[in-house]
C-alpha cells in the first residue's frame, strides 16, 4: 500500500493494530497506527527513541520537506517526476471548484482538506518542476496549492480570479435603507482581509425629507492573526451590497480575491512575472434605479503564499489588492492592474445630482477610501461603495526581492 493511500486510511481509522515498525512515515499531526509512535525521524516506530535508520534502506534519507497546510512527505509528493511547463504561447486554466486543470500526465490533481479541516478544502496539484512563461488563470471557490518537489520558475502571469464570498465577519456590510421613499440608500462597505476596507457613503435626503439619511455600510473586520498566517489558506472577503429603497435593483458588492499557495522543495524564482489575487470591483445599481440605490463595495484582495528554502523575486509584480467601490449612478468599481495606482472607484455620472463613488487600497500606505456620500435633490441618490482592503502576501524561506512591485508587503 502506498504512503499516500495509507495516510487517508489512517484518517479514516482503517489501520490494523499489528502494523510493523518503520514501514510508514507519520501522518499530519504525528499520527501513526495504534500500536506505533511517531519517532524523532518522523517514522512510525515502537517508541519516540526507536530509530528507523537501520531498519529500512531509505530511512536515512527520509523526506524532510515541510509544507504548509498539507504534508508533502506523507502524500509522497517528493517522489513525483512529472514536470509542468506552460510556454509563452499558451493560456492555461485551472478550475478549483470542478477540479479541472491543464496539468500533465503523472501529476497529482485532487482536493485535500488543509490540516485535516473538513471546512478548509483546497485543490492540490503536485509536480516535480513547475515553469510558467505563458498565462495561467485560476477560477473557482476554493484555494489552489501547487506543490513542486523541484523548482518553480514564473516569468509569465498567474492570475487568481476573484471568488471569495466567504466570511460575513470580514465582508463589507450592506448599506442602509432610507425611511423616506425619495431618499437614497447607503453605499456598501468594502471587504477586509489584511487591512480594512472603506465604509460606504451615506444615502442622500430629498429636499423635503423629514427622515434620517440611510446609514453607510460598515467595513468588514480584519482577519485574526492566525488567519493572516494563511494556515489554512483562504480567499478574500466580498464587499457589501448597496442599500436598495427601490427593491432588488441594488449594487452588489465585489467578490474577494482568490488564494494560491506555491510550495517548492528547492527554490522559487519569479523573474519578470506576475502573480495577482486582486478583489473585484463593486457593481453599480441597475440603470432603472435612477441613482437612488447605493453602490456596491469593493472586494478585498485575496491571499498569496510562497514557500521554499530560497525565494527570489526580481522585476516582478505580486499583488493582492482590493477592488474599487461602485457609484450609485451606473459606474462599476475597477480592478487593480498591479501597478502603482489603486483600483479606481466608479465615477459619478454628472447627469445625476449626488451620485457618488468609492475607491480602494493599493499598498499599505494608501488605505482603502470611504465611499462618497450623496447630496440631496428632488429624488436623492445613494451613497458610493467603499473600497476593498488589501489581502495577504506571505513568504516562508530566505527571500530576495529586487526591482519589483509588491502589494501588500510580505
- Convert the pLDDT of each residue in 139-185 to its tens digit: 999 999 999 999 999 999 999 998 766 566 789 999 999 887 788 89
Q: Phi and psi dihedrals of 394, rounded to 5?
A: -130, 140
Q: What is the DSSP letter of 43?
A: B
Domain boundary among 62, 85, 110: 62
Are residues 56 and 107 both part of a single domain?
no
Residue-level pLDDT at 65: 94
Stretch 295-305: mean pLDDT: 94
Are residues 241 and 104 both part of a single domain?
yes
Structure confidence at residue 16 as a pLDDT band (50, 70, 90): very low
pTM, whole model, 2 decimals? 0.83
Which among 46-50, 202-206, 393-397 has the top mean pLDDT? Answer: 393-397
Stretch 21-49: mean pLDDT: 77
* Cα gap 244→334, rounded to integer Å: 22
User: How many residues in the chain?
Assistant: 410
pLDDT digit string, tens, across residues 174-231: 999 988 778 889 999 999 998 899 999 999 888 787 778 889 999 988 877 777 889 9
3-state helix, strand and coil shares in percent for the chain, rounded to the nearest 5: 5, 25, 70
Residue-level pLDDT at 377: 73
Q: Which three cell numbers stand for residue 74?
A: 506523507
Residue-level pLDDT at 15: 27
CA distances from 393 to 193, 224, 278 (A): 11, 15, 11
Residue-level pLDDT at 101: 93
Whether the CB-CB separation of 164 and 272 falls below 8 Å is answered with no
Are residues 57 and 80 both part of a single domain?
no
Are residues 162 and 27 both part of a single domain?
no
* Cα gap 34→219, rounded to integer Å: 48
Whether the CB-CB separation of 253 and 168 falls below 8 Å is answered with no
Residue-level pLDDT at 339: 84
Stretch 114-129: mean pLDDT: 93
Q: Residue 56: pLDDT above 60?
A: no
Domain boundary among 62, 84, 108: 62
Q: Residue 74: pLDDT above 70?
A: yes
H-state helical runs in 183-317: 225-228
Higher pLDDT: 18 or 367? It is 367
* Cα gap 178→173, rounded to integer Å: 15
Beta bridge mates, 392 = 303
Residue-level pLDDT at 208: 80
Are residues 151 and 49 both part of a single domain?
no
Stretch 72-77: mean pLDDT: 94
Residue-level pLDDT at 302: 93
Residue-level pLDDT at 165: 61
Q: Residue 261: pLDDT above 80?
A: yes
Are residues 34 and 101 both part of a single domain?
no
Are residues 175 and 261 both part of a single domain?
yes
Structurally, the chain folds into a number of domains equal to 2
Domain boundary among 37, 62, 87: 62
Are residues 152 and 172 both part of a single domain?
yes
Residue-level pLDDT at 349: 62
Residue-level pLDDT at 13: 32
Higher pLDDT: 162 or 87? It is 87
Are residues 98 and 181 both part of a single domain?
yes
* Cα gap 169→123, rounded to integer Å: 24
Q: In which residue are the cell numbers 506505533 written?
A: 36
Are residues 227 and 287 both part of a single domain?
yes
Q: Which three cell numbers stand for residue 117?
A: 479541516
Q: Residue 387: pLDDT above 60?
A: yes
Residue-level pLDDT at 164: 65
Are residues 53 and 125 both part of a single domain?
no
Residue-level pLDDT at 9: 30
Are residues 299 and 357 both part of a single domain?
yes
> How would you class 11 by CB atoms within 10 Å of its CB: exposed for 0-12, middle for 13-18, buried for 19 or more?
middle
- Write out the residue range of the structural domain in which residue 2 sits: 1-62
Residue-level pLDDT at 363: 62
Residue-level pLDDT at 2: 29
Which among 100-104, 305-309, 343-347 has the top mean pLDDT? Answer: 305-309
Q: Residue 110: pLDDT above 80?
A: yes
Q: By C-alpha distance, which of 120, 137, 385 is closest to 252? A: 385
pLDDT digit string, tens, across residues 319-371: 999 999 999 888 899 999 898 888 999 886 655 544 556 667 666 667 888 88
How high does pLDDT run on average in the chain?
Answer: 85
Amino acid at each position: 500500500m502506498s504512503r499516500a493511500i495509507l495516510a487517508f486510511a489512517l484518517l479514516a481509522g482503517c489501520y490494523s493494530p499489528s502494523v510493523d515498525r518503520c514501514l510508514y512515515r507519520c501522518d499530519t499531526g504525528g499520527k501513526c497506527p495504534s500500536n506505533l509512535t511517531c519517532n524523532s525521524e518522523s517514522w512510525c516506530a515502537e517508541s519516540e527513541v526507536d530509530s528507523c535508520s537501520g531498519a529500512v534502506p531509505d530511512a536515512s534519507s527520509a523526506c524532510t520537506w515541510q509544507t504548509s497546510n498539507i504534508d508533502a512527505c506523507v502524500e509522497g509528493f517528493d517522489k513525483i517526476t512529472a514536470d509542468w511547463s506552460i510556454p509563452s504561447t499558451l493560456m492555461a486554466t485551472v478550475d478549483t471548484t470542478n477540479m479541472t486543470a491543464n496539468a500533465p500526465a503523472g501529476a497529482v490533481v485532487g482536493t485535500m482538506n488543509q490540516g485535516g479541516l473538513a471546512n478548509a478544502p483546497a485543490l492540490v496539484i503536485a509536480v516535480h518542476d513547475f515553469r510558467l512563461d505563458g498565462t495561467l488563470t485560476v477560477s473557482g471557490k476554493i484555494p489552489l496549492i501547487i506543490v513542486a518537489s523541484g523548482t518553480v520558475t514564473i516569468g509569465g502571469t498567474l492570475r487568481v480570479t476573484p471568488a471569495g464570498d466567504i466570511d460575513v465577519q470580514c465582508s463589507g456590510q450592506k448599506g442602509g435603507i432610507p425611511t423616506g421613499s425619495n431618499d437614497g440608500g447607503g453605499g456598501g462597505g468594502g471587504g477586509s482581509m489584511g487591512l480594512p476596507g472603506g465604509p460606504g457613503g451615506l444615502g442622500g435626503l430629498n429636499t423635503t425629507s423629514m427622515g434620517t439619511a440611510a446609514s453607510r455600510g460598515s467595513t468588514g473586520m480584519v482577519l485574526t492573526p492566525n488567519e493572516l498566517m494563511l494556515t489554512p489558506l483562504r480567499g478574500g472577503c466580498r464587499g457589501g451590497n448597496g442599500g436598495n429603497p427601490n427593491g432588488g435593483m441594488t449594487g452588489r458588492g465585489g467578490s474577494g480575491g482568490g488564494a494560491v499557495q506555491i510550495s517548492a522543495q528547492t527554490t522559487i524564482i519569479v523573474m519578470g512575472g506576475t502573480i495577482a489575487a486582486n478583489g473585484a470591483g463593486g457593481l453599480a445599481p441597475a440603470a432603472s434605479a435612477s441613482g437612488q440605490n447605493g453602490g456596491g463595495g469593493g472586494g478585498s484582495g485575496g491571499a498569496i503564499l510562497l514557500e521554499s528554502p530560497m525565494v527570489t523575486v526580481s522585476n516582478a509584480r505580486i499583488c493582492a489588492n482590493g477592488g474599487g467601490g461602485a457609484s450609485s449612478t451606473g459606474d462599476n468599481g475597477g480592478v487593480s492592474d498591479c501597478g502603482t495606482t489603486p483600483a479606481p472607484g466608479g465615477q459619478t455620472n454628472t447627469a445625476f445630482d449626488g451620485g457618488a463613488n468609492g475607491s480602494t487600497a493599493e499598498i499599505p500606505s494608501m488605505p482603502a477610501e470611504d465611499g462618497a456620500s450623496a447630496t440631496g435633490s428632488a429624488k436623492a441618490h445613494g451613497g458610493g461603495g467603499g473600497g476593498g482592503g488589501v489581502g495577504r502576501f506571505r513568504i516562508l524561506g530566505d527571500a530576495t526581492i529586487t526591482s519589483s512591485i509588491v502589494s501588500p508587503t510580505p
